[in-house]
Structure 1
Amino acid sequence: MPTGVALRDVREQLFAAAERVLLRDGPGALTSRAVTTEAGVAKGVLHKHFADFDAFLAELVHERAAQIGRLETALRDSAGTGSVAGHLADALIDVFGPVGLSIVGLITFRDGLRARLRRTWPTGIPVLTEAAAAIASYLAAERDRGRLAPDADVDTLALTLVGTGHLLFSGRDGTPPETEAVRGYVTSVLGGALREA
């Protein structure tokens, strides 16, 4: 590894390598050796920048959760435009893409990672919890614009959409559901709360 490489570049390189290993080989194959080999760096590079492998994985999860934060901003910016069901279907497709599903699987697979994450996420499953918050925020913005019923319980709708999305996308061997199918489920979950023309 050349000297003078910025920590951020090393982190991104290692995170990208970890995601590739996770997608290709599953959570059981994700080791520090597998990550550094995939990244093309010496094993010591990972341990130079992270206290241990679970600390590295916790940071990987934090990075993925930060991406959900950007999704929340995009969703809120789209409020009042287009189709509510369409925006939500796109969000679920983004959240439950191959990397998102793999990260959730990793969290459930590794006890040490879950224990470390509990320090900052005392409840829920990271990524899923952030997705529910992002969707609830978006639904509240749409309710404020009159596109959802004034009494719509946005928190319950968001949790239901995330749970539905997780079940809908899981275990599909790399073949995601069709966008229209996802939109149909979203529309069903929203039910009578949906007021858009």
Structure 2
Amino acid sequence: MCGRFAAALDYSGLAERYRARRAPGLPGPSWNIAPGATIAVVAQDRSGARHLNPASWNLVPSWSPDDHLDYPTHNARVETALARRTYADAARSRRAIIPASGYYEWTRDHKPYYFQSQDGAPLSIAGLYSWWRRDGHSPWLLTATILTTQAEGGAALVHDRMPLLITDTNADDWLDPDLDGSDVFPRAVELGSKASARLVQRQVAPLKGDGPHLTESITLRL
């Protein structure tokens, strides 16, 4: 699973990297982002234009009568997303990239670990998105979920799940709404697992408050 992540992002750089139009309302930096918060997502529309937009981190399917579901939707399993009604439509053609500085996972005895790229570059986490509104007169709400996959390597020593990472190699296919999810998921899992194996991880102190200090190794804080 992925229940917390950090995002202290250069949106101008991200917009250039993903060739995306930057929308207003993107969230400020945070090192303790929780489900329900506003996050940044990159998605591509049917015309081929890409957008860097704010979204609520809890996917609400368009058919839902309410924006508060009886179950959490901040994570979806890549193995079952295409088959589950909540995520199926998004998995087929509404895939997104959720940029992050890094993410946290917890061991069974509740010790948090922070995962990031070796050079500190932003991670491209696989996501799904959905547009939802209460009725025909209400404003549209953009919502999103993070896709998780089976943890491997060092990550598996911390938790049995990990966020699925998208690489520069498959980002174009991942964002293309004309490609069905059943065609792009297998390669995404293969490439994402290899990318995750190159991440660095370290144990951090329990997450309290917010700030860059949350990502420091506990050995630096003793």
Q: TM-score, normalised by structure 1?
A: 0.28
Greater share of strand residues, 1 or 2? 2
Larger Rg: 1
